[in-house]
Amino acid sequence: MARKFPQAVLPVSGGPRPLEGQVALITGGARRIGRAIALDLAAAGARIALTYRSSRADAEHTAELVAGAGGEVWLRRLDVTREAAIAATLRQLEKKWGRLDLLVNNAGLYEAGDLATLPRARWDRMLAANLTGPFLVSQAALPLLRHARPGRIIHLASLGGVHAFSQHPHYSVSKAGLIHLTKVMARALAPAIQVNAVAPGLISTVSAPRGWEARLVARTPARRAGAPGDVAEAVRFFATCSAFITGQVLLVDGGLSLV
């Protein structure tokens, strides 16, 4: 069944291919922002290893889109909180393509919660997916990334990691931790591996946001929600920029962090 796909995330064919011959691993890339990143990096020439957790049909559709645009793609199910599965994924990736140049830690959870009553299980689940997961996948990818020149890691953080989102306490703290992990990793892994983070503000896949999204748009200087393609552009920047740029956080928020 043909699905509607936002124009903003479709890659431009025939453009420059700075990632030709490289391999990019994108976690949680079945849909939304991860899908846009996969299409964008494939258009820049990268072979795409894409993982999904439960959204198999969406992941297969993303793979079809990448392949349909002339890209190479490999799909695998992965829960980023499971070390054995992570190790197996990296082993299989090495067997398939023999290299890894870029890891995009995109998989993540998002939910609201009341600080006073938030159950520990939800706190733990959030930290496991958004902070421990990127740490574990990065750690497992290091041996392959060290052979790239340079190896690159890009974390998907959030405006909530910079500003205190009081109605999303566990989410906000997990992304703040991820931003600090970006800086610690950048320092610990230089010069072999460059580590940066993209921190989106409100990103929407609908053309006319309503409710709380509409209220946030009204406060955003850019007067619109971001599209997945806006985030993918920032990821592509870190995927192709000078290796001298490391430990940085690029907000993609239409200026919302300024108000």
Ligand X SMILES: NC(=O)c1ccc[n+]([C@@H]2O[C@H](COP(=O)([O-])OP(=O)(O)OC[C@H]3O[C@@H](n4cnc5c(N)ncnc54)[C@H](OP(=O)(O)O)[C@@H]3O)[C@@H](O)[C@H]2O)c1
Residues that bind ligand X (CB under 6 A): 27-28, 30-34, 52-55, 78-81, 106-110, 129, 133, 156, 158, 200, 202-203
Considering only CA atoms, give the Rg of the chain. 17
Query: What is the spatial distance between Cα 54 and Cα 33, in angstroms, rounded to a whole number?
Result: 16
* 47/168 with CB nearer ligand X: 168
Which whole-number Å values give the CA distances from 71 to 20, 35, 153, 167, 226, in the listed order? 10, 13, 21, 40, 25
To the nearest whole angstrom, how small is the minimum distance from the Cβ of residue 149 to ligand X? 27
Tokens 């405006």 correspond to 159
In order of 184, 233, 251, 254, the CA distances from 150 in angstroms are 17, 20, 23, 30
Mark whether 52 is an active-site residue: no
- Whichever of 116 and 218 has its CB closer to ligand X, that residue is 218
Q: Which is nearer to ligand X, 152 or 168 (CB)?
A: 168
Residue with Cβ nearer ligand X (110 or 184): 110
Q: Which is nearer to ligand X, 91 or 110 (CB)?
A: 110
Catalytic residue among 171, 179, 196, 229: 171
Residue 91 burial (CB < 10 Å; 0-12/13-18/19+)? exposed
For tokens 């998907």, the residue is 156
Sign of CA dihedral 138, 20, 57, 91: negative
The half-sphere exposure of 68 on its side-chain side, counting CA atoms within 13 A, is 10
Pick the closer one to ligand X by CB: 106 or 196. 106
Q: 159 near 253, Cβ under 8 Å?
A: yes
Nearest-angstrom CA–CA distance, 74 and 170: 32
Nearest approach in angstroms of CB 249 to ligand X is: 12
CB of 111 to ligand X, least distance (A): 9
209, HSE (Cβ side, Cα atoms, 13 Å): 18
Query: Which residues are the active-site residues?
Result: 171
